[in-house]
Chain A
Amino acid sequence: MNQGLVPFILLPALTAVIVPFMWRKSRPAGESLSALVLGLGLIAALMGIPLAAQLGAEFRAGRGMLPMLPFRGDELSILMLVTIFIISLASVFFSIFSLSQEEKRASYYSLILICAAGMAGVVTTGDFFTMYVFLEVVAVSSFALIAFSGDSEGIEGALKYLFLSAPASLLILLGVALLFLNTGGTSFSHLFQTATGGGGSRAGVLVALGLFACGFMVKAGLVPFHGWVPDAYQSSPAPISALLSGIITKVAGVYALIRMSMFLHAAPGYASVTRTLMFFGALSIVVGALAAMVQRDFKRLLAFSSISQVGYIVLSAGLGTPMALLGATFHLFNHATFKATLFLNGAAVERATGTRDMTKLGGLGSKMPWTTGTSVVAFLSTAGIPPLSGFWSKLIIIVALWVGGAKGYAIIALLASILTLGYFLILQRKIFFGKVVSFTEGAQEVAAGMLLPVVVLAALMIIIGLYFPFIYQLLLDPAAKALL
């Protein structure tokens, strides 16, 4: 069991090496192997759920998961691993059926695999410097995936990502250095011990935490550090947009912010950091939602919507109460599923009509019923309509904010949820309902292979929503307890 976490990193990384060689013999074999390994990773992560409590106990006891390689994990790590492998698998599966033969390359699949390995490394380490190293693995592979099309739009998006991501990495690295200077180590436990009064310079740790917060907020794409998000999401291939929005920004930025909140909630004297997180979370909710309302390109609309939804997660994480952390982690998972669905469906619409301009679309509901159906489920879940999964996570966040004394933020979150419903109703009406127009006349439903990932993700939103009490008992409640 202790060796359980290593295959999440080593298996995808080794497969990333094998795929290019296999590609020369048979392209389908290379593609299938990529999907198979990610599928195995998902199964292994799901098998970890019953062991989550035991893993968490070892993690909190400060023991490594494997004597040789001290990767660590707890309930939150398992939840993150499940999310990473679900979204990566959906992206690879969609790529297999959606990319043309000219667009397909072995390195594309290898880069997704190495990105998945990097993300798994981030969520299974107990050390900030190791987290930084794996964050760079994610950054380099994401940078290449955004630019993969090779056109000027892709290169521009990738460079914007790189120019904002590199300074963010520098801030995180400076934070690690300061943490090391002030606590004598770079592990989570060093930070926790110092934060709870176990020695070290409090001022130095506070500066280190400030640097971490800035760096991770850039990587999470929070306002005002969101400049790279719309361009990167818009210019990358659709499965990569789904991967970026669904999981990469969560792992590269939001996950670390949740971990930080976990330590700071228990520590007196660090309220300024958590208050700052809450402020930027709320700002992102409002700015993202307002900006989404005025977009014509639906990929950009989804990008701004992602900024807004990430704001919910960070606002809740900043509060740091058990219920707030539960809401943050649950919304993180939910946002990964519904935003990946929407980006993949966006690609299906673009393929069928040749445009992303919403003013040129209409009446696709009758032409693409499966794409429309799954999109509507994802829209409603994002807006927090019962009984879908997004309803529960938003409800938990808003209740946690209210109970936790942040009533102003609770009202902002509630009002922004109405804005979310508003811009998704606009999008829905413009694309799927209304009259068929010239661009949509010849549109047809996409291949079954492209529909399968979105149907599965939409089914997840419905099932999780309907069986919320069971999911809560099995995974969410232990995860929330683990965070404190």
Chain B
Amino acid sequence: MSSYLLLLFALVLFSLLAVVFRNMLLAALSLGAASVALTLILFALSAPWAAAFELSVCAGLITVLFVSAVSMIRKEELFLKEGRARFALLPFFLLLFGIGFWFFGDRLAVALRGMPGLVGEQAGVGVLLWSVRSHDLVGQLCIILAGVLVIKAFFGRGRD
């Protein structure tokens, strides 16, 4: 159960960071990390197809699209310094999440008690991705490569 809570916490934290960051590149990457956390939760909750699609679409494609678009933005707009005032909101949101968890934590704990162990399910992640959706993995590698090339093309120009 602690693994579920850890993933849930990671999901909330990365989602918040995606909103709070002024640097759009960091915001896009945070959103990608949140999607990865959600993917793992979906796998753990025995929804492997949803998890595979979440990983392909949200953690992979959408993140690459965001990062590619961000790479075209002018350098001075991209590397904005993070204002401390915005980060001051982070503890507030976490506090809000904590209060919510305080009220609903018991019910969540009951619900999670019947869930299969996370470690055992993780073995199925590789099996599903490699044996059932292996062709998507090739596509995923290609799209990540395309994203890297887009960043190289436009950031390279920015440095020139």
Residue positions of A touching B, CB distance < 8 A: 9-10, 13, 16-17, 20, 68-71, 105, 107-108, 110-111, 114-115, 117-118, 121, 125, 127, 129-130, 133-134, 136-137, 140-141, 143-144, 147-148, 150, 155, 158, 162, 166, 173, 177, 180
Q: Which of A107, A127, A136 contacts B135 (CB 8 A)?
A: A127
Whether B142 lies near A68 (C-beta < 8 A) is no
List 9 interface pairs A-B (beta carbons < 8 Å), by A numbering: A9-B138, A105-B156, A111-B149, A118-B146, A125-B135, A129-B56, A136-B64, A150-B154, A173-B57
Whether B142 lies near A144 (C-beta < 8 A) is no
Near A by CB (< 8 A), chain B positions 27-49 give: 49
Chain A residues contacting B125 (CB-CB under 8 Å) are none
Whether B139 lies near A114 (C-beta < 8 A) is no
The 8 A CB mask of B59-77 against A (1 = contact, 0 = none) is: 0110011001100100000
Residue positions of B touching A, CB distance < 8 A: 49, 53, 56-57, 60-61, 64-65, 68-69, 72, 133-136, 138-143, 145-147, 149-150, 152-154, 156-157
Whether B153 lies near A114 (C-beta < 8 A) is no
Whether B135 lies near A140 (C-beta < 8 A) is no
Q: Known contacts A111-B150, A147-B72: does B57 contact A10 (CB below 8 Å)?
A: no
Q: How far is the CA of A127 from the CA of B138 in the complex (A)?
A: 14
Whether A144 lies near B149 (C-beta < 8 A) is yes
Q: How far is the CA of A158 from the CA of B53 in the complex (A)?
A: 27
Q: Which of A133, A144, A150, A177 contacts B68 (CB 8 A)?
A: A144
Q: How far is the CA of A71 from the CA of B68 in the complex (A)?
A: 28
Chain A residues contacting B68 (CB-CB under 8 Å) are 140, 143-144
CB distance from A68 to the nearest CB of B (A): 7
Q: How far is the CA of A162 from the CA of B150 in the complex (A)?
A: 14
A-B interface, 10 closest residue pairs, ranked by CB to CB distance from nearest: A133-B139, A107-B153, A144-B150, A140-B146, A137-B142, A136-B61, A130-B135, A141-B146, A137-B143, A107-B152
Whether B72 lies near A155 (C-beta < 8 A) is yes
Whether B72 lies near A9 (C-beta < 8 A) is no
Determine the residue in chain B with the shortest Cβ distance to A68: B134
Q: How far is the CA of A476 from the CA of B135 in the complex (A)?
A: 28
Whether A13 lies near B145 (C-beta < 8 A) is yes
Q: How far is the CA of A441 from the CA of B133 in the complex (A)?
A: 60
Q: How far is the CA of A87 from the CA of B78 in the complex (A)?
A: 36
Whether A9 lies near B142 (C-beta < 8 A) is yes
Whether A10 lies near B138 (C-beta < 8 A) is yes
Q: How far is the CA of A144 from the CA of B49 in the complex (A)?
A: 31
Chain B residues contacting A70 (CB-CB under 8 Å) are 134-135
Whether B139 lies near A121 (C-beta < 8 A) is yes
Q: How far is the CA of A173 from the CA of B54 in the complex (A)?
A: 12
Determine the residue in chain A with the shortest Cβ distance to B130: A68
Determine the residue in chain A with the shortest Cβ distance to B69: A162
Q: Known contacts A69-B138, A133-B56: does B145 contact A17 (CB below 8 Å)?
A: yes
Q: How far is the CA of A136 from the CA of B63 in the complex (A)?
A: 12
Chain B residues contacting A162 (CB-CB under 8 Å) are 69
Chain A residues contacting B150 (CB-CB under 8 Å) are 107, 111, 140-141, 143-144
Whether A137 lies near B149 (C-beta < 8 A) is no
